[in-house]
Structure 1
């Protein structure tokens, strides 16, 4: 990869900032307060070009316990950690806490940097090395190489840079194929430019003029300019440290902890289901309703813990938790997080988000526990089906599914294609539905039609739009048509002008048969000047339902108030087609003379032909559609 992001970690005053200045020439302690106190308070940033030509961005995170919140914010999107330890002091309390955080965030690549080696004798240095190796045993850092340096004299600096370059070759490329996402770690304004935000682009690709959403406030913005290591670029990909000049938002509207992402790519939530591991040296278990501090991305949020499947989470153990948040966050399944105790503040555990769209659970429900296990360890196909089953929307796009899983769209579409072949998913144009939801939809539609037929025995069925409003109001009409056709292919329904159960037929008693014959005779006699529907109904209100049942069979509905005998309608259609073919066009008067109808009914009939796309009106003429 062309860019990597390196983070420093370690106890206060162990030489992180000085080390970075020697390697890069950039001083990351920039404020007067930081210079006066001699320690990093806020995140500092630098960069350097490695011997191979790669550019390494460096995040100098503060080591003082009071500033550990800033330290965790700086670790979002890090590829490689330099764990800095003073040769004269060895492993200190904050060193251990940083190690705990790094492991729980899933960072895999480390270099141990032993600083200030020229200030102590060689024998002590070797004792410190042995102590470090002993204390790191059993952690992700136990195989990490140890480099001895002295920033003031330059001892070991070139060797360290060569090792960083070597490790950079092994770093996996960040996922640039999914929707872009960046946790904001700094917000400020520049005169003449406006609002600037910085962060590490953890997923996707950004371009100048991209329109994005700032979560959780859902503020719309547009990228005016992108800088990567102080140079203007048109594009930035996952893994890069970026500064973005944003349009349409004021600096006071934003804060560190906000997330910049494309619309629909993350979920806003007040509650998350997680797998949590409590550190062995945590002082207390996590009990029901314990108040904790959640750190995710660059954000700190207070929350309450609800253990699932266990009474409490004991030190050194793992369990499922539901975290009820006191502020809304934007997150995705698979995001890593850290937990600290509310007071006094100590890192106590962390883990991974399993679900950003949960409902409140019964704590010891077996189905809930099995579902969480699936979300933790399930196959990609199981996770796709689970995601679709839990969404309120009937249909889901491939893009939304890929974003939820944090996988490239090219991979997800292959899985979904196989699931369609196995009837685990139903494809509806460019959208998908789980087979479970499809079966539920089938059951719901069957029940609605059964009740409808019992209530309106003479109606051929329910209109498509009425049915859609009852079972799938958020599904587009064309997609609902496809679902109805699938049900018709299965012989569940009949899908014609109205929707009915496949076995349903209209049956008439002797009184209805008599009314039916009377209505049809009146329409036959009226020809091209039919009586209004109200005249046909008269005092017998049941005739309304009877007319509806005949519509599409022996009767054609011209408009909301007028019906016509079907034979005369079809004759009118044929007359119009023949006339226009011979003459090129037709007027209202010509149709009236041709059928012997009145102007009023000629207009009604022709407008019905227009609606049915047999003719089209151009000025005062009719042409064939």
Structure 2
């Protein structure tokens, strides 16, 4: 259990922690000289059988940023109010921040109780109770104590013990995330990063990423609550001995996270509660974890809100952050003088366009309150171009195992890297099947419909081109559909050439087979068939419709099998050159000559197999996808 202190300067927070643990949390020489906490302090101890881990935060208003870093990821709060002063400005500000961060487990310690009489104690307790009434700490126990005489320390320990069952729950489905609040080096050990683990577990030998930079590091050693361990996790303050990163590449405000969470963001959908009036596009500071980021607040439902109101908004930040659904945060004004709001991250990967469209707002409202499974179902139902489960899982901060379990339980079909709702999938499959059935009846001599002819189905379903292509690919992979060249047909469909064309094709098929990777030109075929070139070309165009050949250039037609083999050469070169092969590379590998190489590569560019950039090309799609071989026409 991690407990953060909160309260006004000089109210005895550090003295109380020392009385409970025996540790002086003021670690800096200046702090000890001035008797004032400036930066975060840490203390671990055991009292009356209870292990305690404290983060001591500064009470002075100038160090509120350090206070915010200290309360990130803690389980409970120890709010300290001095009996002589009572409630003071930083008492109110710290309590406001604690409440905005959703901390509702805590104990209130009335310090310096030995310095006042009973009437004064009663007065302060009533004042504190009134202050707590509208916050999550309203039911928290209030205990008078003295860090000097030991008054009330045993009772305070008992109150802290009662918090433990509610704040030590682990979440096995979450991936490891830790907000770094301190980085230093130790002779003989190397680099150490410390912080509160927000979720998951980490073990010695694990790999992690420093976020948002993405640097990969390895865990060399661990200490949890100042004790050496081999595994640590949520609910613990952890010191991690790291290798693989330099001291200047990591610091307070960064995160250590499971490697698969390596996807920073700069736009987040949030739900906030204002403590000051706010307007659309106000400049703000986003206090999250141990970091502060500058940005803008885009209100999604209104142009302005007043203190106490809640609203949906999008944060547009000046740089990348690591955040997941459910993360708590505080917003400060642009000058970092005043706390203006706090809230919860709903979607860390919100869109750049259409953020305030009614359908998007309806989804965001749902996601704000839905658990992992129901949230996935809501996204699945609402997302027209396929639900990206991987992105959703990263945004929820879950482990790969949990993502796999989630995928198995969703009523969805996988297409490409996305999911489509089962009902929508069934509807699409039916519509495509009915279209192709009609097409085959109307065009029995053709191998199938082209992509352009099928495209209207995808458009009417609201699918993007790539999403609809993924639907077709899935139907082909499960053998519901087939490809013949670039044509799409129902599985088992055979085009019917006229008897005369069938006879000509048998001769052409033999000629193509004997030519290898250099099929004969139209003029050469015409001579072999005893036909005029124009007549031969019209015949070959009918063969194109039947899916038997594709027109590569004005005077060349290639069977799909040959194009597939030539496409595989492009695929090999793409791998070897890392996506930068030239005409000469292809000519030398294929041995088909320079002129034919140029014609062929230009055809590959037109069909989308390759993309040309200057003098080089890279592969865009697989040859099997574009040049699948069809069956012979019916005889």
Give the TM-score of the pair, scaled to structure 2: 0.73
Alignment of 1:173-572 (within 5 A): 173-265=169-261, 267-279=263-275, 282=276, 285-343=277-335, 345-360=337-352, 365-378=357-370, 380-387=372-379, 396=388, 401-406=392-397, 417-420=408-411, 425-427=412-414, 432-435=419-422, 438=425, 458-459=446-447, 471=466, 482-485=474-477, 488-489=479-480, 493-494=481-482, 500-502=488-490, 506=495, 508=497, 514-521=500-507, 533-534=519-520, 535-536=524-525, 539=533, 540-542=536-538, 544=540, 549=546, 551=548, 559=562
> What is the CA deviation profile of residues 484-516 of structure 1, one whole-angstrom value per residue up to 9, with x for unaligned ones?
345x54xxx3468876233976354x6xx5344
Does structure 2 retain, via aligned residues, the 8 Å contact 1:516–1:546?
no
- Residues 51, 324 of structure 1: alpha-carbon distance in 2 compared, 3 angstrom cutoff: same
Larger Cα Rg: Structure 1 or Structure 2? 1
SS at match of 1:185: strand
Alignment of 1:14-25 (within 5 A): 14-25=11-22
Structure 2 residue 113 is matched with structure 1 residue 111: no
Q: Distance in 2 between matches of 1:344 and 1:181?
A: 26
Gaps of 5+ in 1: 563-625
> What is the CA deviation profile of residues 167-195 of structure 1, one whole-angstrom value per residue up to 9, with x for unaligned ones?
21333503243211111111112223222
Q: Distance in 2 between matches of 1:436 and 1:258?
A: 43
Q: Distance in 2 between matches of 1:90 and 1:401?
A: 47
Structure 2 residue 26 is matched with structure 1 residue 35: no
1:125 positional shift: 1.6
Q: Distance in 1 between matches of 2:381 and 2:473?
A: 21
1:80 positional shift: 1.6
SS at match of 1:184: strand
Does structure 2 retain, via aligned residues, the 8 Å contact 1:309–1:365?
no
Q: Which residue of 2 aligns with 1:585?
A: none
Report the aligned-residue RMSD. Answer: 4.1
Alignment of 1:566-585 (within 5 A): none
Q: Does 378-387 or 530-539 show the bigger shift?
A: 530-539
Q: Determine which of 123, 130, 138 is the counterpart of 1:142.
A: 138
Structure 2 residue 1 is matched with structure 1 residue 10: no
Q: Does 441-450 or 340-349 show the bigger shift?
A: 441-450
- Residues 408, 519 of structure 1: alpha-carbon distance in 2 compared, 3 angstrom cutoff: closer
Q: Which residue of 2 aligns with 1:590?
A: none
SS at match of 1:8: strand
Q: Distance in 2 between matches of 1:561 and 1:220?
A: 40
1:447 positional shift: 13
Q: Distance in 1 between matches of 2:15 and 2:230?
A: 33
1:159 positional shift: 1.9
Q: Distance in 2 between matches of 1:449 and 1:33?
A: 80
Alignment of 1:59-98 (within 5 A): 59-98=55-94
Does structure 1 retain, via aligned residues, the 8 Å contact 2:363–2:379?
no
- Residues 319, 12 of structure 1: alpha-carbon distance in 2 compared, 3 angstrom cutoff: same
> What is the CA deviation profile of residues 113-162 of structure 1, one whole-angstrom value per residue up to 9, with x for unaligned ones?
01111122222122111111122222222211111111111111122112
- Residues 527, 40 of structure 1: alpha-carbon distance in 2 compared, 3 angstrom cutoff: closer
1:295 positional shift: 0.6
Does structure 2 retain, via aligned residues, the 8 Å contact 1:269–1:328?
yes
- Number of equivalent positions: 532
- Residues 245, 371 of structure 1: alpha-carbon distance in 2 compared, 3 angstrom cutoff: same
SS at match of 1:352: strand
Q: Distance in 2 between matches of 1:135 and 1:527?
A: 89
- Residues 57, 537 of structure 1: alpha-carbon distance in 2 compared, 3 angstrom cutoff: farther
Gaps of 5+ in 2: 456-463, 528-532, 550-557, 566-635
- Residues 461, 545 of structure 1: alpha-carbon distance in 2 compared, 3 angstrom cutoff: farther
- Residues 271, 439 of structure 1: alpha-carbon distance in 2 compared, 3 angstrom cutoff: farther
Q: Distance in 1 between matches of 2:444 and 2:187?
A: 71
Q: Distance in 1 between matches of 2:409 and 2:183?
A: 45
Does structure 1 retain, via aligned residues, the 8 Å contact 2:21–2:45?
yes
> What is the CA deviation profile of residues 528-572 of structure 1, one whole-angstrom value per residue up to 9, with x for unaligned ones?
9689741546644455555664759xx99875699xxxxxxxxxx
1:7 positional shift: 1.0
- Residues 462, 190 of structure 1: alpha-carbon distance in 2 compared, 3 angstrom cutoff: farther
Q: Distance in 1 between matches of 2:384 and 2:314?
A: 20
Q: Distance in 1 between matches of 2:490 and 2:398?
A: 42
Q: Distance in 2 between matches of 1:44 and 1:561?
A: 66
